[in-house]
């Protein structure tokens, strides 16, 4: 239904007998019915205050009071200097309690750990959690984001894959005032609350650890950096640690993984990227896998070539999935505090509920960095014992 047609119907439904004192209630009630039923599309910008008042033949004060009532109920989002936007269809009784987590792929330890943290925090606060899993599929992620504004949700925590269409929709959700918090990955140009690990610091700590074991040739196995990705920060931390130690890496030390070799299989991507390098590199060598699944590929390549871990090849991974613990020998890693990320993200989302919708120029958005932990296992050789 068009906005003008809806307002014309509202004029007919309201009647002229209401006093000014109670008129805003009838205006709010009819708008509320149409928002709940979906006759007003979620995200639609309402006409200007004076235009609504003129068409309904009421004062702007009456319209303002009606919109304030709907905003308090979550049916309308009012943004300073932008106007009022219609929320998605709401479910009575549940909307005040339902939040969402839009994950990139719950098969990854990061996404699942964050989900656990959000769920635990929701349980403590009496909130319900709805989970959307994109399975690293841009089309599915787009559909998930479309559901966020249509499902009667109070807000969402989002771990984006970063496909262009999905990013565009995130911007549109944000401008309507839909409460959202990003986790792990910032979206370029989108000023929103963000909770993520200190990826640069984590890579710095990992590289310094290898240097402390007297490794002077440290290769980095690098997955592709998407539109939204922490990989560039990890590269900066790796490079900074080498520079501070007076180590000048050759360009070929950074080994780029080709995602087209085996789609969505980081283990095999790491295997194909490192295999030709290990055939010709001087040993011993250290390899910093910027994803621990890539490190799994290094293990496979070493097994095929008869190389020993850690005697010939030391391996250090980023993230602490079940894979890194199950390898023989178990892989030394820098581990993210995934559950803590989820808990902190829900804390920020609740601030949206407490403070209401604010214009971006008026609100200070938070960027929370969570520390990481170096977990020492058996995949890194101490070369100091060989000197």
Q: Quick check: helix, strand or coil at residue 98?
A: strand
Reported confidence tier of residue 91, pLDDT bands at 50, 70, 90: very low
The reported pLDDT for the residue numbered 184 is 93
The reported pLDDT for the residue numbered 387 is 60
Give CATH 1.10.10.10 domain extents, the chain: 3-86
pLDDT, tens digit, 9 for 90 and up, residues 33-50: 666 666 665 556 677 778
Give the long-range contacts of residues 36-42, CB within 8 A, separation 24 or more: 36/75, 36/89, 36/90, 36/92, 37/89, 38/89, 39/1, 39/6, 40/1, 40/3, 40/6, 40/86, 41/86, 42/86, 42/87, 42/88, 42/89, 42/149, 42/150, 42/176
Is the pLDDT score of 240 beyond 60? yes
pLDDT, tens digit, 9 for 90 and up, residues 139-168: 999 999 988 877 678 899 999 987 888 888
The reported pLDDT for the residue numbered 362 is 57
Q: Quick check: helix, strand or coil at residue 109?
A: helix
Question: Which carries the bigger pLDDT value, residue 68 or residue 31?
Answer: 68
Average pLDDT, the chain: 84
The reported pLDDT for the residue numbered 197 is 97
Region 1-23 average pLDDT: 55
Is the pLDDT score of 8 beyond 70? no
Between 3.40.50.1820, 2.40.50.220, 1.10.10.10, 3.40.50.170, what CATH number should domain 3-86 receive? 1.10.10.10
The token pair at 272 is 């194909």
Is the pLDDT score of 222 beyond 80? yes
Return phi, psi of residue 372, to 5°. -120, 170
pLDDT, tens digit, 9 for 90 and up, residues 247-300: 998 889 999 998 887 777 889 999 999 999 999 999 999 999 999 899 999 999
Helices (H) and strands (E) in the chain, counts: 13, 14
What percent of the chain has a predicted confidence (pLDDT) above 90?
A: 48
| Angle value at C-alpha 271, between 270 and 277, nearest 5 degrees | 95
Please choose, from the candidates 45, 120, 36, the residue with its C-alpha nearest in 3D space to the C-alpha of residue 78. Answer: 45
Between 3.10.310.10, 3.40.50.880, 3.40.50.2300, 1.10.3720.10, what CATH number should domain 95-196+339-370 receive? 3.40.50.2300
Q: What is the CATH number of domain 199-336+374-386?
A: 3.40.50.2300
The reported pLDDT for the residue numbered 95 is 45
Reported confidence tier of residue 69, pLDDT bands at 50, 70, 90: confident
What percent of the chain has a predicted confidence (pLDDT) above 70?
A: 81
The reported pLDDT for the residue numbered 90 is 41
d(CA 93, CA 291): 43
Return phi, psi of residue 252, to 5°. -75, 0
* Nearest-10 Cα torsion for 164, 166, 167, 172: 130
Question: Which carries the bigger pLDDT value, residue 31 or residue 259?
Answer: 259
> Lowest-confidence range among 125-129, 235-239, 298-302?
125-129
Is the pLDDT score of 17 beyond 50? no
Distances, alpha carbon 239 to alpha carbons 203, 298, 308, in Å: 9, 21, 26
Give CATH 3.40.50.2300 domain extents, the chain: 95-196+339-370, 199-336+374-386
């Amino acid at each position: 239904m068009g906005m003008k047609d809806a307002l014309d119907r509202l004029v007919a439904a309201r009647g002229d007998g209401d006093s000014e004192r109670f008129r805003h209630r009838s205006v709010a009630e009819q708008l509320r019915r149409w928002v709940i039923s979906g006759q007003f599309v979620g995200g639609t910008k309402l006409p200007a205050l004076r235009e609504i008042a003129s068409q309904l033949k009421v004062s702007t004060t009456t319209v303002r009071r009606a919109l304030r009532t709907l905003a308090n109920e979550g049916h309308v989002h009012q943004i300073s200097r932008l106007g009022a936007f219609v929320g998605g269809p709401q479910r009575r009784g549940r909307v005040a309690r339902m939040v969402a987590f839009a994950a990139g792929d719950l098969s990854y330890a990061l996404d699942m750990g964050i989900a656990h943290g959000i769920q635990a925090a929701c349980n403590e606060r009496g909130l319900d959690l709805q989970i959307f899993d994109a399975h690293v599929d841009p089309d599915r992620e787009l559909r998930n984001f479309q559901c966020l504004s249509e499902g009667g949700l109070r807000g969402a925590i989002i771990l984006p894959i970063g496909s262009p269409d999905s990013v565009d929709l995130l911007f549109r959700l944000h401008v309507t005032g839909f409460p959202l918090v990003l986790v792990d990955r910032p979206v370029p140009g989108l000023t929103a609350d963000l909770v993520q690990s200190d990826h640069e610091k984590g890579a710095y700590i990992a590289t310094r650890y290898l240097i402390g074991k007297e490794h002077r040739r440290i290769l980095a196995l690098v997955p592709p950096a998407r539109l939204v990705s922490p990989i560039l920060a990890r590269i900066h931390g790796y490079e900074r640690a080498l520079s501070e130690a007076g180590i000048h890496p050759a360009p070929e030390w950074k080994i780029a993984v080709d995602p087209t070799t085996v789609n969505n299989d980081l283990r095999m991507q790491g295997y194909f990227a490192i295999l030709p390098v290990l055939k010709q590199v001087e040993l011993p060598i250290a390899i910093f896998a910027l994803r621990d699944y890539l490190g799994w590929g290094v293990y496979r390549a070493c097994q095929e070539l008869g190389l020993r871990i850690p005697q010939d090849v030391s391996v250090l991974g980023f993230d602490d999935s079940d894979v890194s613990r199950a390898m023989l020998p178990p892989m030394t890693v820098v581990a993210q505090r995934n559950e803590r990320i989820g808990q902190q993200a829900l804390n920020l989302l609740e601030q949206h509920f407490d403070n209401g919708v604010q214009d971006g120029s008026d609100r200070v958005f938070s960027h929370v960095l969570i520390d990481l932990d170096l977990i020492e296992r058996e995949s890194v050789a101490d070369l100091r014992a060989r000197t």
